[in-house]
C-alpha cells in the first residue's frame, strides 16, 4: 500500500529513491523534496517513463541520463512499441525490396515457335505469369511486356514476334489435365486461320527441354522426329495379341509402315517418304504431314488418303486397342500431331482428326484435346472440340475414319 | 472511548489513507519522521474516530473531512508565520528558507554521495539501478543475500574492483546459485555489494529493513 523510501537523487520531473528492500524506484517530484529525505510513497506516486535514455558516463561524472518525456507511459510498453515498429519497418522493406510472390501456381507451360521462340507460364485464367525465350530470340523487354496479360491480349504480340507463318505450339499441363482442354481450345482459337501445330508433352519434358536449351515445342517435335515415339509404338505393337498382329499384318499399308519404322529413324526420311517438305509441311497446302489439314468437312476418309502410312497403321492398331481392349487404352501409342490448316473446316472437331499417338505412362489418354501427355492436337479455328475432350478415353478419334470402321467391320466379320 | 491499542490498529490499517489525505492537502510527500503535518493528521484521525457516528455516513469520508480541516488550519498558520518576513528579501540575500537538516540527515546525504561515487567507478548510476532492480520481492531478497555473502569474500571483492565488474561465475559458485540467477540481477547485486563492502550504515540499515548486522 505505501512504502518508505530514501531520496537518492532529485531530477526535474521525478526523483530516484530506494525503498527498504533496496529497490531503486522513480517517484514524482514534489515541492520540498531533497536528497536524503525519508518519505512515504503510495502507488500513485510512482513515476512511469515512456522513454528514458541513460547515457553511460565516464568516471567521476554525474548522472547525465536523459529524463523521460512524460510520466504516462511504461518503459516496458515502450520496448514493445519499438520492437513492433522495427518489425513493421522490416516487413515493409522486405515487401518493397523483394518481388511479390505470385499467389497463383503455374497451370500450364506453352511455347510458340515460329520466327522466334517464346515460352509462357500460364495460370488457370490464361494469364501469363512468366515469359521467356529459350533460344534468346526475343529480347527481355518484349518478354516482360507480355507478363501479367492474358493470352488473348498478347495474340497480336505473339504474331508479331513469332511471325504469321506456320507456328508450332508446345503445351504441357501442370495442373488438372482435364481442365487443359479449354485452354488448348483457347490457344487454338488465338491464331485464327494461321497454320499451327500443337504438341502436348509431359511435365518432365519441361526440364528436359530446358536442359537442351530448346523451347517446349521444338523439344517435343525433335523427340517425336527422333523416332522415340515410333519406337514406343513398335514396342507396344509387339505386346499386342498375336491374332491382332496377324490381322494387322494383312494390311499392306501397315506392313509398309512397319518397315519404315524399322528402317527409318530420321525425321527427314519419314518426311521424304511421305513427300512432305523438310519442315514437315506439305508444300502445297502448307499443312504438316501428320495433320488433318483437309478442307473436308465430313469425315476423315479423304484426309486419310492424304496421310502417310502411319495413319493407316495407327488406325488399325489404335482402333484395336480402343475397341477390344479398353484396359489397354492407356498403353496406346502417343498421339500424332495434327495441324490447323488454313481454310480448314471450322466444323471439324479436333477429336475427329486422325488417330493420335500417345507416349509414356498408362495414365495417358488419347488426344481428344484434353492435354493428354505426349499427344498432339490440331488447332482448328472455331472448334470447340478440344474442350469436348474431357480427358476421358473415347473413340471419337476413330469414329470418323471410315477406313477404321471398315477395318473393324472386317475384323468383326472375321470373328 | 476507543483504546490506544485499537487506535494504533486503526491507524496502521488506514495508514495509506492517512498518508494520501496528507499528500493531497499539503501537495508534498509525508516525511517518515518529524513531520508536523503527519502528527496533525494523526490527531485528527483519532478525533474522527471519537466523534464518528455511523448513522451519519461513512467513517473514511468523515475522517477525511476532519483531517483536511485540521491540516488546512495548520497550513494557514504556517503561511501567516512565513509572511512576517519578506520572502523576496530573503531570496535576494541568499538565505535558505529550508529548515536546517539534522545531523542524521546530513550523514545520510553524505552516504548517498559516497555511494554514488562508488557506483561511478563501475560506470553505474542510480538510473541504472532503477532499471536493473528486481521487481519481485523474493528475487530482490535473494540478490541482497548474494551481495552480502559476496561482500564477505575478499577474493570476490578484490576481483570486482580489479575488473570493474561483478565476477559472475565466482559469485555463483561462492553463493551456491546458478550463473543465470546472478546475471539476472548483476547490477543490483554489485550495487548492494558495494553498500556492504563500504559499510554505509544508514543505507545498510535501510536495505535490511531496520536490521543491521555488522555495523
Per residue in B29-70, pLDDT tens?
Answer: 999 877 889 999 999 999 999 998 888 889 999 999 999 999
Q: What is the model's pLDDT at position A397?
A: 41
Strand-pair partners of A28: A14
Is B129 near chain A, with CB under 8 Å?
A: yes
Is the Cβ–Cβ distance between A373 and A359 less than 8 Å? yes
B112 contacts on A by Cβ (under 8 Å)? 6, 8, 35-36
pLDDT band at B160; cut points 50, 70, 90? very high
Triad A296, A336, A409: Cα angle to 5°: 65
Q: What is the model's pLDDT at position A246?
A: 58
Per residue in B109-121, pLDDT tens?
Answer: 999 999 999 999 9
Q: What is the model's pLDDT at position A414?
A: 44
Q: Which parts of chain B fold into alpha helices (H)?
A: 4-13, 15-26, 36-51, 59-83, 87-93, 103-121, 126-132, 137-151, 154-163, 168-175, 179-184, 186-198, 201-207
Q: How many CA atoms lie within 13 A of A292 on its CB side?
A: 34
Burial of A115 (0-12, 13-18, 19+ CB in 10 A): middle
**B140 → closest Cβ in A2, A6, A23:** A23
Residues of chain A contacting B, Cβ within 8 Å: 1-2, 4, 6, 8-9, 16, 18, 20-27, 30-42, 44-45, 52, 54, 56-61, 63, 65, 75
Per residue in B165-208, pLDDT tens?
Answer: 999 999 999 999 999 999 999 999 999 999 999 999 999 888 87
Q: Which residues in chain B (171-190) have CB-CB distances under 8 A to chain A? A: 188
Q: What is the model's pLDDT at position A245?
A: 54
> Cβ of B133 and A63 within 8 Å?
no
* Strand bridging mode A117-122 / A108-113: antiparallel
Q: What is the model's pLDDT at position B8?
A: 87
Between CA B18 and CA B23 the distance in angstroms is 9
> Cβ of B31 and A37 within 8 Å?
yes
A57 contacts on B by Cβ (under 8 Å)? 120, 123, 125
Q: Identify from B102, B112, B126, B147 which residue to disrupt to test chain A contact, counting A C-beta atoms within 10 A and taking the largest count.
A: B126
Between CA A27 and CA A295 the distance in angstroms is 98
Locate B153 and state its grid cell: 569474500
B115 contacts on A by Cβ (under 8 Å)? 8
Q: What is the model's pLDDT at position A216?
A: 85
Q: How far is CA A265 from CA A168, A256, A262, A308, A334, in A?
A: 21, 15, 8, 16, 17
- Cell 561462492 belongs to which residue? B174
**B19 → closest Cβ in A26, A40, A65:** A40
A39 contacts on B by Cβ (under 8 Å)? 29-32
End-to-end CA distance of chain B: 44
Q: How far is CA B95 from CA A245, B87, B109, in A?
A: 128, 10, 21
CB–CB contacts below 8 A, A to B: 121
Q: Which parts of B14-102 fold into alpha helices (H)?
A: 15-26, 36-51, 59-83, 87-93
- Cell 486419310 belongs to which residue? A304
Spatial CA neighbour of A6 closest among A29, A40, A43, A32? A40
The alpha-carbon gap from B55 to the nearest alpha carbon of chain A, in Å, equals 29
> Cβ of B105 and A56 within 8 Å?
no
From the CB of residue B210, how many other CB atoms can be counted at a distance below 10 Å? 9
Between CA A37 and CA B33 the distance in angstroms is 9
**Would you give the distance in Å from CA A96 to the centre of its chain?**
26
Q: Is the dihedral of CA A104, A106, A108, A113 positive or negative?
A: positive
Is B28 near chain A, with CB under 8 Å?
A: yes
Between CA A78 and CA B192 the distance in angstroms is 28
ipTM above 0.90, yes or no: no
Between CA A43 and CA A319 the distance in angstroms is 94
Per residue in A22-56, pLDDT tens?
Answer: 999 999 999 889 999 999 999 999 998 765 455 54
> Cβ of B108 and A40 within 8 Å?
no
**A59 → closest Cβ in B33, B121, B130:** B121
Strands (E), chain B: 30-31
Please list the pLDDT of chain A residue by residue as tens digits (415 residues).
789 999 999 999 999 999 998 999 999 999 889 999 999 999 999 998 765 455 544 444 444 444 444 444 455 667 788 888 898 888 888 888 766 555 567 888 899 888 888 999 988 888 899 899 888 888 888 888 888 898 888 888 888 888 877 888 888 888 665 567 788 888 878 877 677 888 888 888 888 888 888 888 888 888 766 666 566 667 766 766 666 555 555 556 556 656 665 665 555 555 555 554 444 444 444 444 443 444 444 444 444 444 444 444 444 444 444 444 444 444 444 444 444 444 444 443 334 344 344 443 444 444 444 444 444 444 444 444 434 434 344 444 444 444 444 444 444 444 4
> Cβ of B112 and A65 within 8 Å?
no
Between CA A396 and CA A385 the distance in angstroms is 10
Q: How far is CA A391 from CA A81, A177, A386, B78, in A?
A: 57, 7, 10, 103
Chain A residue closest in CA terms to B108: A36
Amino acid at each position: 500500500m505505501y512504502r518508505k523510501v530514501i531520496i537518492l537523487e532529485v531530477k526535474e520531473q521525478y526523483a530516484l529513491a530506494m525503498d527498504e528492500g533496496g529497490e531503486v524506484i522513480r517517484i514524482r517530484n514534489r515541492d520540498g523534496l531533497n536528497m536524503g529525505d525519508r518519505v512515504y510513497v503510495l502507488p500513485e506516486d510512482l513515476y512511469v517513463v515512456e522513454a528514458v535514455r541513460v547515457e553511460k558516463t565516464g568516471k567521476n561524472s554525474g548522472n547525465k541520463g536523459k529524463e523521460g518525456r512524460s510520466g504516462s507511459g511504461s518503459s516496458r510498453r515502450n520496448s514493445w512499441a519499438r520492437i513492433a515498429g522495427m518489425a513493421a519497418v522490416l516487413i515493409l522493406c522486405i515487401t518493397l525490396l523483394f518481388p511479390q510472390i505470385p499467389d497463383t501456381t503455374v497451370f500450364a507451360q506453352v511455347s510458340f515457335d515460329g520466327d522466334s521462340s517464346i515460352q509462357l507460364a500460364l495460370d488457370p485464367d490464361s494469364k501469363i505469369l512468366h515469359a521467356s525465350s529459350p533460344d534468346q530470340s526475343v529480347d527481355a523487354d518484349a518478354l516482360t511486356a507480355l507478363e501479367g496479360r492474358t493470352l488473348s491480349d498478347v495474340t497480336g504480340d505473339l504474331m508479331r514476334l513469332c511471325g504469321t507463318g506456320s507456328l508450332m505450339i508446345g503445351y504441357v499441363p501442370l495442373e488438372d489435365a482435364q481442365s487443359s482442354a479449354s485452354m488448348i481450345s483457347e490457344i487454338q482459337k488465338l491464331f485464327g486461320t494461321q497454320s499451327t501445330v500443337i504438341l502436348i508433352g509431359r511435365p518432365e519434358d519441361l526440364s528436359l527441354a530446358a536442359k537442351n536449351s530448346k523451347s517446349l515445342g521444338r523439344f517435343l517435335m525433335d523427340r517425336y522426329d527422333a523416332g522415340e515415339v515410333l519406337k514406343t509404338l513398335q514396342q507396344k505393337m509387339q505386346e499386342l495379341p498375336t491374332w491382332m498382329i496377324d490381322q494387322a499384318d494383312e494390311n499392306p499399308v501397315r506392313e509398309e509402315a512397319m518397315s519404315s519404322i524399322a528402317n527409318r529413324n530420321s525425321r527427314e526420311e519419314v518426311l521424304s517418304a511421305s513427300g512432305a517438305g523438310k519442315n514437315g509441311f506439305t508444300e502445297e497446302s502448307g499443312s504438316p504431314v501428320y495433320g488433318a489439314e483437309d478442307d473436308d468437312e465430313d469425315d476423315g476418309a479423304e484426309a486419310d488418303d492424304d496421310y502417310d502410312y502411319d495413319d493407316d497403321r495407327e488406325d488399325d492398331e489404335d482402333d484395336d486397342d480402343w475397341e477390344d481392349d479398353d484396359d489397354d487404352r492407356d498403353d496406346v501409342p502417343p498421339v500424332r500431331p495434327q495441324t490447323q490448316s488454313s481454310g480448314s473446316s471450322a466444323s471439324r472437331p479436333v477429336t475427329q482428326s486422325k488417330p493420335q499417338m500417345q507416349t509414356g505412362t498408362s495414365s495417358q489418354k488419347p488426344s481428344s484435346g484434353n492435354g493428354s501427355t505426349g499427344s498432339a492436337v490440331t488447332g482448328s479455328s472455331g472448334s470447340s472440340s478440344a474442350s469436348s475432350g474431357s480427358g476421358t478415353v473415347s473413340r471419337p478419334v476413330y469414329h470418323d475414319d471410315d477406313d477404321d470402321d471398315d477395318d473393324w467391320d472386317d475384323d468383326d466379320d472375321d470373328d | 472511548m476507543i483504546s490506544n491499542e485499537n487506535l494504533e490498529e486503526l491507524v496502521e490499517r488506514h495508514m495509506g489513507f492517512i498518508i494520501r489525505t496528507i499528500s493531497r492537502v499539503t501537495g508534498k510527500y509525508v516525511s517518515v519522521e518529524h513531520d508536523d503535518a503527519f502528527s496533525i493528521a494523526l490527531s485528527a484521525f483519532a478525533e474522527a474516530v471519537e466523534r464518528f457516528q455511523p448513522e451519519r455516513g461513512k467513517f473514511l469520508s468523515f475522517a477525511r473531512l476532519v483531517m483536511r480541516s485540521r491540516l488546512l488550519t495548520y497550513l494557514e498558520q504556517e503561511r501567516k508565520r512565513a509572511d512576517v518576513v519578506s520572502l523576496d528579501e530573503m531570496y535576494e540575500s541568499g538565505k535558505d528558507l529550508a529548515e536546517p537538516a539534522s545531523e542524521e540527515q546530513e550523514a545520510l546525504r553524505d552516504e548517498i554521495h559516497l555511494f554514488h561515487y562508488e557506483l561511478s567507478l563501475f560506470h553505474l548510476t542510480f538510473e541504472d539501478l532503477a532499471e536493473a532492480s528486481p521487481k519481485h520481492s523474493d528475487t530482490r531478497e535473494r540478490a541482497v543475500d548474494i551481495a552480502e555473502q559476496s561482500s564477505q569474500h575478499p577474493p570476490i571483492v578484490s576481483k570486482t574492483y580489479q575488473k570493474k565488474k561483478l565476477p559472475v561465475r565466482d559469485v555463483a559458485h561462492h553463493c551456491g546459485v546458478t550463473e543465470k540467477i546472478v546475471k539476472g540481477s548483476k547490477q543490483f547485486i554489485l550495487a548492494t555489494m558495494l553498500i556492504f563492502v563500504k559499510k554505509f550504515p544508514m543505507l545498510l540499515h535501510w536495505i535490511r529493513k531496520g536490521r543491521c548486522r555488522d555495523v
